[in-house]
């Protein structure tokens, strides 16, 4: 096992995970590409798909939407999504006047049951600092330009509250089924760094 020069910058849990992965791959217990594929699937597909189903249901079912905004954890659990990092989920609704952006300035608190594992950019110190200092500029650089009259609210996730954004339902989606709506929703929209759009 070779020493990683970036090791000093990593927390102990990350170092242990890296050491375990190296040991298991060295001994042929797991293959790196299989492990990478599993992690990628959980980060980009499985976890965010749960959240997308929550959003789609809230868009088509006003009663569910009310419950979701009142008790995010309970309403999400109704759909079978719960577990570690899924406690105390507060749902923030985007409107035409208010856009919500989620960050965790101290670490990377994140609602895993509905978003999967946090992406690398979410844990990056630059994102964490700029989301608080210059959210409009940061969002524009990430591809989301908001009108000046849209108020951006930045929410700092913690162990006490993990935030989840209910994105604005896009125009032109009125005739879509719940399943079709869920297919439009991305992880980034549920963090607040993107909008949901109808494919042309």
Asked whether residue 197 carries a pLDDT value surpassing 70, the answer given is: yes
* Domain assignment of residue 3, yes or no: no
Asked whether residue 8 carries a pLDDT value surpassing 50, the answer given is: no
pLDDT recorded at residue 95: 98
Instruction: Supply the CATH number for residue 67's domain.
Output: 3.90.330.10
Helix-strand-coil split of the chain, %, nearest 5 = 50, 10, 40
Q: Is residue 199 annotated as a catalytic residue, yes or no? A: no
d(CA 116, CA 130): 23
* Domain assignment of residue 198, yes or no: no
Q: Look up the domain containing 106 and give its range.
A: 11-191
Given a contact cutoff of 8 angstroms between Cβ atoms, the answer to whether 174 and 180 are in contact is no
Q: Is residue 200 annotated as a catalytic residue, yes or no? A: no
* Domain assignment of residue 132, yes or no: yes
Which pLDDT tens digit goes with each residue over 99-152? 999 999 987 788 988 998 888 899 999 999 999 999 999 999 999 999 999 999
* Domain assignment of residue 41, yes or no: yes
Q: Is residue 109 annotated as a catalytic residue, yes or no? A: yes
pLDDT recorded at residue 6: 41
Give the pairing of strands 151-156 and 89-93. Answer: unpaired
pLDDT recorded at residue 83: 81
Q: Comparing C-alpha atoms, which of 171, 167, 168 is closest to residue 198?
A: 171
Which pLDDT tens digit goes with each residue over 19-60? 777 777 788 877 878 777 766 665 665 679 999 999 999 999
pLDDT recorded at residue 194: 98
- Mean of all residue pLDDT scores within the chain: 87
Catalytic residue among 109, 173, 177, 199: 109
* Domain assignment of residue 180, yes or no: yes
pLDDT recorded at residue 12: 59
pLDDT recorded at residue 79: 96
Asked whether residue 178 carries a pLDDT value surpassing 80, the answer given is: yes
Q: Comparing C-alpha atoms, which of 99, 101, 102, 77 is closest to residue 88?
A: 77
Q: Is residue 108 annotated as a catalytic residue, yes or no? A: yes
Largest CA distance in the chain: 58
Q: Which of 88-102, 106-120, 175-189 has the lowest mean pLDDT?
A: 106-120
Task: Count structural domains, the chain.
Answer: 1
Catalytic residue among 66, 107, 145, 177: 107
* Domain assignment of residue 37, yes or no: yes
* Domain assignment of residue 125, yes or no: yes
Instruction: Kindly state the tokens that stand for 149.
Output: 């009259």
pLDDT recorded at residue 86: 79
Q: Which of 8-12, 22-26, 63-67, 170-174 has the lowest mean pLDDT?
A: 8-12
Catalytic residue among 104, 145, 157, 173: 104
The residue-averaged pLDDT of 151-165 equals 95
Asked whether residue 161 carries a pLDDT value surpassing 80, the answer given is: yes
* Domain assignment of residue 196, yes or no: no
């Amino acid at each position: 096992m070779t020493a990683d020069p970036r090791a000093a910058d990593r927390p102990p849990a990350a170092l242990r995970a890296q050491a375990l992965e190296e040991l298991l791959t060295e001994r042929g217990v797991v293959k790196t590409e299989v492990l990478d594929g599993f992690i990628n699937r959980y980060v980009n597909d499985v976890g965010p798909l749960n959240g997308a189903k929550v959003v789609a249901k809230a868009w088509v079912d006003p009663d569910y939407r009310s419950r979701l905004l009142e008790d995010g954890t309970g309403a999400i659990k109704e759909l079978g999504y719960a577990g570690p990092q899924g406690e105390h989920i507060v749902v923030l609704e985007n409107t035409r006047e208010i856009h919500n952006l989620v960050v965790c300035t101290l670490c990377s608190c994140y609602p895993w049951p509905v978003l999967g594992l946090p992406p690398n950019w979410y844990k990056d110190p630059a994102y964490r600092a700029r989301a608080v200092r210059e959210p409009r500029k940061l969002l524009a650089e990430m591809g989301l330009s908001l009108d000046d009259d849209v108020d951006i609210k930045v929410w700092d996730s913690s162990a006490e509250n993990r935030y989840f954004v209910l994105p604005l339902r896009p125009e032109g989606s009125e005739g879509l089924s719940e399943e079709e709506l869920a297919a439009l929703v991305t992880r980034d929209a549920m963090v607040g760094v993107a909008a949901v759009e109808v494919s042309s």
